[in-house]
């Protein structure tokens, strides 16, 4: 028993002469008008400029990263005030013009440090330590040393120089 053969035209006879619909070509994702090219070029320029500014800011503030690492490595020893002062002076020399910083010591030095932050980081006792403590090599209590180190870290993080805009 076999099945009968299928006719040559199988299905609906009305659709026998039907031509298949031709699909349009797919739409490109790339914008074709010059306006979009201009927008893309402006966006690219803006991104490059922003990246260059970030890179320049990062490069000009590398002294801050070095000073922060150095201050965080300091231990409360009798020479702590001298080391803190030295690190702050090196940071100030890197961030400000040498003529403005190099000759400062004592009270003018501490006034310079406090004037470069929106909120002065050093208290009156810490100012006295920074101004005259360099010449006194005596041990400090741990709380005073920790407060001085924290104020110095705050100064390095928060001071404003001519690279900051």
3-class SS at 60? helix
Residue 142 within a domain: yes
Indicate whether 109 pLDDT > 70: yes
For residues 110 and 130, is the Cβ–Cβ distance under 8 A?
A: yes
Residue 39 within a domain: no
User: What pLDDT does residue 15 have?
Assistant: 67
Indicate whether 21 pLDDT > 60: yes
Total-model pTM? 0.71
Residue 105 within a domain: yes
User: What is the C-alpha to C-alpha distance for residues 109 and 46, in angstroms, rounded to an integer?
Assistant: 41
Indicate whether 8 pLDDT > 90: no
Residue 19 within a domain: no
Domain total of the chain: 1
Residue 50 within a domain: no
Residue 44 within a domain: no
Residue 100 within a domain: yes
Task: Please give the residue that has the higher pLDDT: either 13 or 94.
Answer: 94
Enumerate residues 6+ apart whose C-beta is below 8 A from 138: 78
Q: What is the mean pLDDT of the chain?
A: 86
Residue 75 within a domain: yes
Q: Residues 133, 97, 158, CA angle at the centre, nearest 5°? A: 65
User: What is the C-alpha to C-alpha distance for residues 67 and 89, in angstroms, rounded to an integer?
Assistant: 10
Domain that holds residue 79: 60-160
Q: Per residue in 127-153, pLDDT tens?
A: 888 888 777 777 788 899 899 999 999
Enumerate residues 6+ apart whose C-beta is below 8 A from 67: 87, 88, 90, 91, 156
Q: Per residue in 53-101, pLDDT tens?
A: 999 989 988 999 999 999 999 888 888 888 999 999 999 999 888 998 8
């Amino acid at each position: 028993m076999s099945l009968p053969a299928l006719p040559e035209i199988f299905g609906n006879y009305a659709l026998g002469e039907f031509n298949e619909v031709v699909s349009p070509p797919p739409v490109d994702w790339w914008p074709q008008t010059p306006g979009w090219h201009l927008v893309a070029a402006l966006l690219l320029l803006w991104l490059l400029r922003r990246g260059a500014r970030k890179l320049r800011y990062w490069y000009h503030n590398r002294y801050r990263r070095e000073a922060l690492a150095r201050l965080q490595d300091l231990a409360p020893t009798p020479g702590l005030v001298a080391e803190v002062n030295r690190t702050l002076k090196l940071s100030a020399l890197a961030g400000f013009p040498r003529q403005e910083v190099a000759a400062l010591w004592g009270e003018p030095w501490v006034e310079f440090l406090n004037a470069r932050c929106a909120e002065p980081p050093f208290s009156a006792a810490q100012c006295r330590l920074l101004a005259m403590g360099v010449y006194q090599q005596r041990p400090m209590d741990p709380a005073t040393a920790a407060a001085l180190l924290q104020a110095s870290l705050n100064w390095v993080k928060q001071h404003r120089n001519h690279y900051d805009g």
